[in-house]
Structure formats: C-alpha cells, structure tokens
Structure 1
Amino acid sequence: MFDKKEIEVLLPPEVAYDEFARYRALLHAAGFQPGQADFVHLKRRSIDARGRQPLVRLRADVWLTPPPRDIFGPWFHYPDVSQARRSVLIVGAGPAGLFAALRAIELGIKPIVVERGKDVRTRRRDLAALNKEHIVHPDSNYCFGEGGAGTYSDGKLYTRSTKRGDIQRILRILVQHGATPEILVDAHPHIGTNKLPLVVAALRDSVRQAGGEVRFDTRVTDLLLEQQHLRGVVTASGEAIEADGVILATGHSARDIYELLHRRGVLIEAKPFALGVRVEHPQALIDQAQYRRADRGQLPAASYSLVHQTQWKGKQRGVFSFCMCPGGFIVPAATAPGEVVVNGMSPSRRDSRFANSGIVAAIELEDMDLAQHGPLAGLRLQQEIEQRACAIAGNTQLAPAQRLGDFLKNKISPELLETSYQPGLVPVRMDDVLGAGLAERLRQGFRDFGKKIPGYATNAAQIVGVESRTSAPVRIPRDRDTLQHPKIKGLFPCGEGAGYAGGIVSAAMDGERCAEAMATLAIS
C-alpha cells in the first residue's frame, strides 16, 4: 500500500528553481520535516505572472512510503521486427514519421523510413553553408533532413491536441531517448535546438536496433499506384519500394510531393494557413513587460501569446503570434534557391539576447486564386511572396526587414538594429514584400499588441520577412475513422504535411495513430 499527500503551492522563483530549497518548501507545505517523507515527486510547474511579483505554481506528491517503481510511467520496449510478415513504408523522418515507425514496431510491423534529407550530423554542414554562404540545398536545410523542421527549432512540446493521443506517452518516449525529464513537469515544455539532434538520432537508433530501416538521401519521385491502390513509391535513384501500406509524413514544405499527388490525380485540397513576418525584440524588454522586473533572476526567458481580430475591406482576419522563441534566433528556412523564408529557434537555455516570434495573419480560401491554381493555390501564394522577398532583398539569403515603429508609420528604416539572423538584413518597405492588404492587417495586430504588452510596438524592435511556413497550405484528405485516403487504398496521410498536426507532439501523436490505423486495416 502506497501513501502520499498531494499538494499545490506558489513559491518565489529563487525557491522554485533551486532543487534543495524547493524540496524543503514542498515538505514544509505538506507538513513534514526533512527525513519524514520518503520521496517528493514534482508533477507540474508553471509561472503565474499575474500579480505584482511573478510566482511559480508547483504541484507535487509527497510520498510517505516508497513510491511504485513505475511512478514516472512505463519504459518502452521495441521487439525485433526484422523478419516481420508485414511492413509499412513511411515517407519522411520528422516527428510524425519517427513515431509512426516506433509504434509500428510495437505492433509487430517492420517500418521502412525514407527521408529525402541527411542525418542530423551531416545536415549541419548544409545549415552552415546556408547561414554563411547563402547556399540553399533543396534536400537538406532547416525543413528537410532527419527530424524534419522540428530538429533545429525551439523544440516546443506544448500542444492543445489532447484528444488526438496520449501526450504524456510522447513525452516519456522523448525522455527515454535523451530529453530532459523536466519536459514531464513544465506547463510549456521545450527541449532546445542544441539537444534535439541527439534525441532524434536516438529515436532513429531505436528503429534500426529493432530491425526497422531508415534510409537517408532517398527522395520520392513517383508512386506505385495501381487501380487506386498505393503499393509503394519510386525514389530518385529509380528504386521501387513496396510495402503493405504507405504513411505519407513529408512535412509542410514538401511542395514537390503536393505537385506529384496532383499530377497523378490523387485528391488534395487547398487549405487555410497563415502568413506574415518575424518580429525581434530585446529579450530584456519582453522580460520587463511580462515579469515587471528588470532582472528576471532564475525565471526562464519570458514569452507571450497574442491574438487580435482585424478588419480589411469588410473581411475579418485573425492576426496572432506563432512559434514564439524567447532567448532565441531567427534562421533562414528556405527550401529552394530564389526564395527567402524565416523561422525561429531557441537553445535549451534560451539565453540569447533576443526574443522573436512569428506574427502572422490568417489566409482563408477566398484570399487565394483557386480558379487558376486549384488545390495548389495557397502553395502558389507562398511561393510568390517568398520569391518577391528574395528579389527585393538582393537575391541571396539576406532578409527584408523594417523597424517596427517605422512599419507602423509606413516609412523605410534608414538603419536597422542588431539581429540574431546570421545571413543579415536589408532595409525595405515591408508593404512591397507583403502587399498592402496583408501589411495593413499586420499593422492592426501590432497596434493592438502594443496595448497589451508595454513597449511592444516600438522602434527598438524590427520585423523580418517572411514567415510563410506556419502550416501546410494543402490538405491531403483522409477518412475520419480509418485515417486512409478516401480514394486511394493503402495511403495514410499523416502529420503537418497532410494538414493534421501543428507541432512536434501533435505530429508524433498523429504518426502513432496512422501506424495503428494501418495495422488494423492490415489485419482485417
């Protein structure tokens, strides 16, 4: 019989983030002295900054007897599937693809994962060339390669997709593969771009050690499609790979896959997405605004989440913050020469002097040229703005930028601020990049955000363009119950690229669901 006492307390940051001081405070809150309790299990940690001084809210179990062995959850074991009778082909080694592979192994199915990009270690060389020499490798960049776009990102693990799967299961698998156990506790957990590559490599090793396959530099160029049944794919080398089912988990930037599906007559649909800029502030400015203190002490770098409903020519469109990266960097996320795309990432410590966030406006179907481009209309709009950003900024990976106060006044900035964006910035009128309608919606949003966060709408910040890969502009439809494409047997659209996820955890959960759905259909 186990005996525990559940408690919830508010503590000053200097106590909450000091392991020994926290332990004593939790014991005291439970009514015990050191030595009277057997174990303290921290279950949840979040920051409450609503008062005059920020506090940290903790939930914990104080165990009066030795806790059960599985208090932190089960350890996952992967059987040998090298000789399994069934196989699944997984296109893409991002979180959706890797977690689909691990779940397939648990279900006794051999996964064959094909990834157009390189492994995480080799991929770094191409990222260095992109940042320093402005060379965009179409198959190896911040979007393509082992781990997908999430590998070199902030590694945010917060999701609202609680009905799509077991979030704690995903987090425990990540911890088993090297992520810090703190992600099981924090209300808004993250891993950090410096630690994610090791976790991703460990996930891949688990797949291979269990008899699954992971192939890099393997780009899909055609489908083995017979009478509305997808039996496999053809790669750039001409190899045909067949399996009992195909999980398509290519991510939101695999435009050639959308083109291939459209060309081969596979039903796809245009989908709303969001488009805008990255805004970069001094992190100290955000800390002061959110924590109301100049020195945040042991508190983590402050973040924010903002939304505003705008009006433009009778149309209402949301403007919101996206992928906010406290203590982070802006990075070049183009996937082809001749385009400029930016994204954000943070190291685990979030110790950069800069805070950045996407500020984007909703793009609805009526904003796209569906008559001319059909289901690829959103993709074409993305390309148009990304290519214009590149041309205006000088046809390299220099990014167009404008100080925020100047943008609100619609005037060019005579000089820009220091930035975390390594390739460099070029002062432009962002209206020329975004177009008048989108720029005006963003202005309305920034003005409202300036009312919500003191000092936000300032010339001490600058906007950098363009943030255009917020989500897939195409949806690959699937049956709600079977998760199989409604017209193509054996095709399981999966993750962000198919329009069914919006981050690492939701993509991982969707990958698991697709593996389970494929296994069920294979048995029936």
Structure 2
Amino acid sequence: MRKKELDLVFTPEVAFDAALLEHEILKSARVNPDDIKYVHRVKRSIDARGRQVLVRVRADIYLDTPPADVISPTYTYPDVSKAKQIIIVGAGPAGLFAALRCIELGLKPVVLERGKDVRSRRRDLAAINKEHKVNPDSNYCFGEGGAGTYSDGKLYTRSKKRGDLQRILQILVQHGATPDILFDAHPHIGTNKLPKIIEAIRETVREAGGEVHFDKRVSDFILEDEEMRGVVSADGQTYLGESVILATGHSARDIFELLHEKGITIEAKPFAMGVRVEHQQSLIDSIQYKCEDRGPYLPASSYALVHQTHYKGRQRGIFSFCMCPGGFIVPSATAPGEVVVNGMSPSRRDSRFSNSGIVVAIELEDMELEKYGPLAGLRMQQALEQKACEMAGNTQAAPAQLLKDFTERRVSKQLLDTSYQPGLVSMDMNEVFSEDMAYRLREGFKAFGSKMRGYLTNEAQIVGVESRTSSPVRIPRDRDTLEHTQIKRFYPCGEGAGYAGGIVSAAMDGERCAEMAAVKAGVSIR
C-alpha cells in the first residue's frame, strides 16, 4: 500500500473551506493528481497558542486503493424479529447503541424508555421553560436520546481504550450526522441536529425487528435464583429476556432506590457539583483567539480550566465541565421542587452567550455515608437542588450572581441578560452552597481569572446549581463479564451505572454490554 502522510498548517480561511482545503492538500502532496486514489482527512485541530490562530490538518494521500476501514463503512442490521430478546432499560446513547450492537449480533433488543419520543418530548421542555412545570418522566434528562439529545452533542472522550471511537462516529454519520465529526479533533453535532439522528437510530432498530417503547418507566425487576430475567413497567406489563441491560442515565434516582430496596448492591461514588458561569461569547473569543473578532471561519472558542483548592486540610479539584460555546443554559430538574442547570449548544454555536459548568469534586469523605449509605451522594445532590429552588422562589427560576460579586461576597444589584429562559433571581450564591464549596468556588474563579485575563469580571454571572455532572452512585459489575457482581444476566451500563461520562463513552459502554449479553445468550463474537 502506497501512502503519503501529511501534517499541514493552514489559516482558518483555508482549513474551514472544504473546496480550498481539498485543493491545498492535493497541492501539498506533490504527486501527479492522476496517481491519487483517495484523500483521507484524518484530523483538524485549532492551534491558538501564538499571535495568529492556525489550524493543523493531518491527511493521508493513498496512491493505491485504501483499506476498507479508511472509507466510512455502512453497517448492516439483519432481521432479528424472531431472535432471542435482550431487555434494554433506557433509550439514551448507551441504550440505543446497545440495541444496534444486539441487532448486529443477531439478538432482538426490546428498549424501554420512561420518557416520550424525541418530538413529543419538546412540549414538556417548553413547559419547563415557560410554565415552570417539571414532568418527572419527560424533561431534559428523560426521554428518547436521554440527556444527550438536548445538549451540545460533544463527541470526544478520554475513554478510547474502552471501545472503538471511530466506529461510534461512523454509525452517527450513517444516521445523519455531518462527516466532519470524523475529522475534527473536538467534534460535536448540536442540539438542533441530534433529534433527527436519534429518530433515525430508533427507526433502524424497529426496521430490523427490534422494539422501542415509550412511557415505560421500569418499576420492578424480575429475579430468579440470583439471575435477572426481566422487568416490570409502571403500567404493570412484564418484559422477559435473556438478560437486562440497565442504561438509565445519571438522574434515574428511583432506579437507584429500587435497587437498594431490593438488596441489590450499589455503591456511593465521587462526583462534582457547582454552578454554570455565563460569559458573552465575544469575550471568550477575544481571550482565546487574542483578537476582537474571530471572523466567519473560526468556530466559537471554548476553554478547559482546573485548579486545586485547600480548605481545612482537604484538597479538592475545581474544574470546568461541559463547556458550551455559543450555547444556552437550560433547566434540568427531574422533579418539582428542585432547580438544576445544564448547558447545550446548537450545531452552529451561534448564540451570543457561552457557558460552562464550574464544579467542585465531591469525594466519599464529604458525604454522610453513615446516615445514607450508598445513597449519600444522591441525598447531597437533592438537598442542594431543593435549597436552590426554595431560595429562588420555588419555581424553575435559578439563583444567580455576577461573577466578581460572588468572589467578593457582594449581592448583585442587577443581573445581566441570560440565555436561561425560566429567569434568574439575584442572591448571594455563597449562601446556596456549604461553606467549603463556596470557598472552593471563589478560590477557583480567582485562579481562573489569573489564567485567563478578563475571565473574572462582572460582565459574567454564575447560575446555580450544576449538580448532575455524573452519577453519585456506581452499580458494581464484574470486570471481565460486565455482569453485576451479585446478579447474573444483569448489565449495569453507561453514565447511570458509573461507567461513562458523555455521549461517546456511554455509547461504547452500551456496545460492550451488548456483546457480553450476547456471549451469555450463546452468541459467538469474533
């Protein structure tokens, strides 16, 4: 195989213009154009370290026919309508990719989602924003596609050893995502495009003979001799299968409580809580790109920040989480009487606001384990969310404060415009958090202001509370079989079980659990 590997540097004007980029790559190859069989764009990444922003591009020029895995493959799904059944609880990334993998392996997935399909779900999201009404089964966390559907759609992960990242991206492209996600160093889809992709995946499952059911909240498990045989939905229907894959996401508190009640082992796990900080996107662009106007080619800029804080002998990290350039802050409560915020971005990231979670690490020793046992982190989340709701007036309006005012402990006389539709209530956010969390947040913002000049300003504001960064519970499983350590044929999966931290890692974990369930069902995997 004859191949030329190119590492190139372009201006944004070239790198983000498809035709110009192709032309420059071919020119840089310095070979006869007639000899080129295929141009594979491997990676595109922004380098903003210097005075001028550059874009680094890696490309492979094939002078022979490239391997099949270089050209994006099309995955095929056989008819599994009469095959053995695998019950999958949850239709988020973990559940949907588990379903697709089951089909590839000749098994019939039966997916049960407590919320509504992606289109019907929109009405409940509008009710949260406009009427402050929270449907416990249909909201920004629950419904087809899970929390990832109405998010930024970030598609990068540090968990590349856990599965085939490129395969996940290729399946998303097959279902309607832009091919650029195969090429960009930090790909994303956008909340405006994700719903159609989720719908396409659901139709693939159904066309292959699988089942996807909505408004099917699981209320009980069916156990026989320490093996999971199926589940019961809240409307009394029973679903039996070879195994159960539990992919309910990090906010399915009733599932954690059900497991605990039935004596099925769960564990408290570290997580993080804090706030959303909202800046003007133009300010973040000017800091990161070192220019007043990023122009029509550069995307909205992002940042990643981390700092170690010390309080009464305990060191804890404070860090940015789920940064959403050109995005919106959204209400993510899953029950009345609580306020939770999260972030999302459209595909163009063209909002005038940027927002990011800024959160403090919560370790096991910070929790009341003796009082609440494995649910200690969950109770800590609930207490903060309920306090925020009460202090802000018992609606979905969120407590907020200008950023510099927060660090200097001044109540803000007036707040800024915001992307958060339910509205903001000015208060001293130091009173929302415990003394140690408030201290760590203040120290973290001061440190971030030193790292990014202009970041710590009253032209920004914090909005609370960001408490659903990850599951506060881990459902333990065997390292090799991925089965629960106590219950066989039961596969805790994805973010809710404590084994993923985003769309891609959850999807990869869903595939792995499907493979292990297939082995248990007697399927040979190559």
1:236 partnered with 2:234: yes
Amino acid at match of 1:125: R
How many Å apart are 1:63 and its aligned residue?
3.6
Pairing 1:406-421 to 2, within 5 Å after superposition: 406-421=405-420
Amino acid at match of 1:410: R
Pairing 1:344-383 to 2, within 5 Å after superposition: 344-383=343-382
How many Å apart are 1:293 and its aligned residue?
0.9
How many Å apart are 1:27 and its aligned residue?
2.0
Give the equivalent residue in structure 1 for 2:425.
426
Give the equivalent residue in structure 1 for 2:486.
487
Give the equivalent residue in structure 2 for 1:110.
108
Amino acid at match of 1:178: G
- Equivalent of residue 267 in structure 2, options 262, 266, 269: 269
The answer to whether the 8 Å contact 1:115/1:219 transfers is: yes
Q: How far apart in 1 are the matches of 2:76 and 2:19?
A: 34
Q: How far apart in 2 are the matches of 1:212 and 1:441?
A: 48
SS of 1:434 mapped into structure 2 = coil
How many Å apart are 1:3 and its aligned residue?
3.8
The 1:401–1:266 alpha-carbon spacing in structure 2 relative to 1, beyond 3 Å, is same
How many Å apart are 1:437 and its aligned residue?
1.0
SS of 1:125 mapped into structure 2 = helix
Q: How far apart in 1 are the matches of 2:430 and 2:113?
A: 37
Q: How far apart in 2 are the matches of 1:83 and 1:348?
A: 39
Residues 438-481 of structure 1 deviation map (CA, whole Å, 9 limit, x = unaligned): 01101111111111111001111000000000000000000000
Q: How far apart in 2 are the matches of 1:512 and 1:205?
A: 18
Residues 64-117 of structure 1 deviation map (CA, whole Å, 9 limit, x = unaligned): 456566632321000100011x21100000000000011011111111000000
Q: How far apart in 2 are the matches of 1:229 and 1:4?
A: 52
1:170 partnered with 2:149: no
Pairing 1:52-451 to 2, within 5 Å after superposition: 52-64=51-63, 67=66, 71-84=70-83, 86-297=84-295, 298-451=297-450
Q: How far apart in 1 are the matches of 2:64 and 2:172?
A: 29
The answer to whether the 8 Å contact 2:117/2:143 transfers is: yes
SS of 2:119 mapped into structure 1 = helix
The 1:353–1:169 alpha-carbon spacing in structure 2 relative to 1, beyond 3 Å, is same
How many Å apart are 1:49 and its aligned residue?
0.8
Residues 198-248 of structure 1 deviation map (CA, whole Å, 9 limit, x = unaligned): 011111111101100000000011111233221111111111111110000
What TM-score do you get using the length of structure 2 for normalisation?
0.97
Amino acid at match of 2:179: P
SS of 2:442 mapped into structure 1 = helix
SS of 1:481 mapped into structure 2 = coil
SS of 1:45 mapped into structure 2 = strand
The answer to whether the 8 Å contact 1:279/1:464 transfers is: yes
Q: How far apart in 2 are the matches of 1:354 and 1:312?
A: 32
SS of 2:288 mapped into structure 1 = helix
Give the equivalent residue in structure 1 for 2:4.
5
SS of 1:120 mapped into structure 2 = coil
Any unmatched runs of 5+ in structure 1?
none
Give the equivalent residue in structure 1 for 2:460.
461
Q: How far apart in 1 are the matches of 2:378 and 2:117?
A: 27
How many Å apart are 1:20 and its aligned residue?
2.2
The 1:5–1:108 alpha-carbon spacing in structure 2 relative to 1, beyond 3 Å, is same
* Greater CA drift, 138-147 or 446-455: 446-455
The answer to whether the 8 Å contact 1:92/1:114 transfers is: yes
Residues 391-443 of structure 1 deviation map (CA, whole Å, 9 limit, x = unaligned): 00000000000000000101110000000001110001111111221011011
Amino acid at match of 1:181: P
How many Å apart are 1:194 and its aligned residue?
0.3
Q: How far apart in 1 are the matches of 2:451 and 2:347?
A: 27
Q: How far apart in 2 are the matches of 1:14 and 1:479?
A: 50
Amino acid at match of 1:74: P
The 1:400–1:51 alpha-carbon spacing in structure 2 relative to 1, beyond 3 Å, is same
Q: How far apart in 1 are the matches of 2:479 and 2:64?
A: 46
* Greater CA drift, 224-233 or 504-513: 224-233
Q: How far apart in 1 are the matches of 2:43 and 2:29?
A: 16
Q: How far apart in 1 are the matches of 2:72 and 2:38?
A: 16
Give the equivalent residue in structure 1 for 2:46.
47
Q: How far apart in 2 are the matches of 1:426 and 1:441?
A: 22
Residues 370-409 of structure 1 deviation map (CA, whole Å, 9 limit, x = unaligned): 1110000000000000000000000000000000000010
SS of 2:319 mapped into structure 1 = strand
The answer to whether the 8 Å contact 2:489/2:520 transfers is: no
Q: How far apart in 2 are the matches of 1:433 and 1:70?
A: 52
SS of 1:308 mapped into structure 2 = strand
- Structure 1 runs, 4 residues or longer, greater than 3 Å off: 32-39, 63-71
Q: How far apart in 1 are the matches of 2:380 and 2:63?
A: 61
Q: How far apart in 2 are the matches of 1:439 and 1:512?
A: 40
Residues 139-170 of structure 1 deviation map (CA, whole Å, 9 limit, x = unaligned): 00000000000000000001000110000000
The answer to whether the 8 Å contact 1:24/1:34 transfers is: no
Q: How far apart in 1 are the matches of 2:486 and 2:69?
A: 44
Q: How far apart in 2 are the matches of 1:287 and 1:16?
A: 18
Aligned residues: CA RMSD? 1.3
Q: How far apart in 2 are the matches of 1:18 and 1:172?
A: 22
The answer to whether the 8 Å contact 1:142/1:332 transfers is: yes
Give the equivalent residue in structure 2 for 1:500.
499
Q: How far apart in 1 are the matches of 2:376 and 2:35?
A: 66
Q: How far apart in 2 are the matches of 1:458 and 1:175?
A: 40
Among the aligned pairs, what percent are the same residue? 69
SS of 1:442 mapped into structure 2 = helix
Residues 346-366 of structure 1 deviation map (CA, whole Å, 9 limit, x = unaligned): 000000001100000000011
The answer to whether the 8 Å contact 1:252/1:472 transfers is: yes
How many Å apart are 1:299 and its aligned residue?
0.6
